[in-house]
Structure 1
Amino acid sequence: MAGSSTNRAGRLLLGDRFLLALALLCCLSAPVHAGSFNSRIVGYFVQWGIYARDYEPADIPAQSLTHINYAFMAVNAETGQISSYDAWADLQKVFAAKNGLPAQTWDQSAANLAGNFGRLRDLKALHSHLKVLLSVGGWTLSGPFPTVAADAAKRQAFAASAADWVSGQGFDGIDIDWEYPSLADRDNFSALIKATRQALDAKGLADGKTYLLTVAAPAGPSNMAVWDLARLAPSLDWFNIMTYDYHGGWDATTGHLAPLYENPADPAADRATWNADWAVQAYLAGGVPAQKIHLGIPFYGRSWEAVPATDNGLFQSGQAGPNLGVAGNWENGVLDYWKAMDIARDGNHAVNFDAAARASFIYGANLSSGLASGGLFVTFENTASLSEKLALAKTLGLGGVMFWELSGDVRDVTDADSLLGLMARTFTTDDAAMSMPWLMLLLDES
Structure 2
Amino acid sequence: MKSLLLITVTIFVFAVETFGHDTNKVVCYYGSWAKYRQGNGNCEEETIDPNLCTHLIYTFVGLNGEDGSVKVLDAWADLPASEPGGGRDGYGKFNALKKINPELKTLIAIGGWNEGETAKYSNVLNDPNLRSNFVKSALELVLKYGFDGFDVDWEYPNQRGSEGKESDKEAFIATLKELHEAFQPHGLLISAAVAAAKTSASKSYIIPEMNSYLDLINLMAYDLHGAWESHTGLNAPLYPRADESGEDREVLNVEACVNYWLENGADPKKLVLGIPLYGRSFQLVDKNNYKPGSPSVVNGQGLQGPYTRTAGTLGYNEILELNQNEWDHYWDDEGKVPYMVRGQDWVGYDNEKSVGLKAQYAIERGLGGVMVWSVETDDLTGISGQKFVLLNSINSVLHGGSVPTTSSTTTGVPTDPSETTEKPSSPPTDPTKPTETTTDKPSTPPSTDICQHEGFVRDKNDCSVFYECIKEQNGELKATRFQCGAGTYFNEEALVCDYKENVKCNVLF
TM-score interval w.r.t. the shorter chain? 0.7 to 0.9
Q: Does 1:123 align with 2:92?
A: no
Range that drifts further, 262-271 or 243-252: 262-271
Q: Deviations over 1:274-310 (max 9, x none)?
A: 1111111111112222110111111111111234345
Q: Does 1:146 align with 2:134?
A: no
In 1, Cα distance between equivalents of 2:94 and 2:364? 33
Whether the 8 Å CA contact 1:323–1:330 is kept in 2: the answer is no
Question: Which of 193, 203, 211 is the equivalent residue of 1:216?
Answer: 193
State the shift of 1:32 in Å: 2.8
Change over 3 Å in CA distance of 1:173–1:325 after alignment to 2: closer
Instruction: List gaps (5 residues or longer) in structure 2.
Output: 18-23, 159-165, 402-509
Match of 2:131 in 1: 155
Question: Which of 221, 240, 249 is the equivalent residue of 1:271?
Answer: 249
Whether the 8 Å CA contact 2:124–2:130 is kept in 1: the answer is yes
Match of 2:345 in 1: 376
State the shift of 1:73 in Å: 0.8
In 2, Cα distance between equivalents of 1:297 and 1:356? 17
Letter in structure 2 aligned against 1:84:
V
Letter in structure 1 aligned against 2:77:
A
Matches within 5 A, 1:40-189: 40-52=25-37, 53-92=41-80, 106-107=81-82, 114-141=88-115, 142-182=118-158, 183-189=166-172
DSSP-derived class of the 1:127 partner: coil
Match of 2:233 in 1: 255
In 1, Cα distance between equivalents of 2:273 and 2:91? 27
Whether the 8 Å CA contact 2:305–2:313 is kept in 1: the answer is no
State the shift of 1:324 in Å: 5.9
In 2, Cα distance between equivalents of 1:382 and 1:325? 18
Structure whose alpha-carbon radius of gyration is higher: 1
State the shift of 1:325 in Å: 7.0
TM-score by length of 2: 0.69
Change over 3 Å in CA distance of 1:269–1:120 after alignment to 2: closer
Q: How many residues align?
A: 376
DSSP-derived class of the 2:256 partner: helix
State the shift of 1:29 in Å: 11
Range that drifts further, 141-150 or 312-321: 312-321
Whether the 8 Å CA contact 2:380–2:387 is kept in 1: the answer is no
Question: Which of 307, 314, 330 is the equivalent residue of 1:335?
Answer: 314
In 2, Cα distance between equivalents of 1:327 and 1:339? 7
Q: Does 1:198 align with 2:181?
A: yes
Of all paired residues, the percent bearing the same amino acid is 28
In 2, Cα distance between equivalents of 1:388 and 1:311? 28
Question: Which of 406, 423, 443 is the equivalent residue of 2:394?
Answer: 423
State the shift of 1:173 in Å: 0.4
Letter in structure 1 aligned against 2:363:
K
Range that drifts further, 222-231 or 56-65: 222-231
In 2, Cα distance between equivalents of 1:27 and 1:326? 31
Whether the 8 Å CA contact 1:32–1:425 is kept in 2: the answer is no
Output the aligned Cα RMSD.
2.6
DSSP-derived class of the 1:271 partner: helix
DSSP-derived class of the 1:235 partner: coil
Whether the 8 Å CA contact 1:321–1:334 is kept in 2: the answer is no
Match of 2:340 in 1: 362
Letter in structure 1 aligned against 2:94:
L
Q: Which has the higher helix share?
A: 1
DSSP-derived class of the 2:46 partner: helix
Change over 3 Å in CA distance of 1:332–1:128 after alignment to 2: same
Question: Which of 214, 226, 230 is the equivalent residue of 2:208?
Answer: 230
Letter in structure 2 aligned against 1:88:
W
Change over 3 Å in CA distance of 1:310–1:391 after alignment to 2: farther
In 2, Cα distance between equivalents of 1:416 and 1:58? 14
State the shift of 1:416 in Å: 8.3
Letter in structure 2 aligned against 1:328:
Y
Q: Deviations over 1:239-289 (max 9, x none)?
A: 100000011111110011101111132477443111111111111112222
Change over 3 Å in CA distance of 1:147–1:338 after alignment to 2: same
Question: Which of 278, 286, 297 is the equivalent residue of 2:275?
Answer: 297
In 2, Cα distance between equivalents of 1:268 and 1:282? 15
Q: Deviations over 1:77-107 (max 9, x none)?
A: 1111111111111104xxxxxxxxxxxxx55
Question: Which of 363, 366, 382 is the equivalent residue of 1:394?
Answer: 363
TM-score by length of 1: 0.78
Change over 3 Å in CA distance of 1:145–1:399 after alignment to 2: same
DSSP-derived class of the 1:377 partner: strand
State the shift of 1:341 in Å: 2.6
Q: Deviations over 1:316-342 (max 9, x none)?
A: 112256476752351111111111233
Change over 3 Å in CA distance of 1:184–1:332 after alignment to 2: same
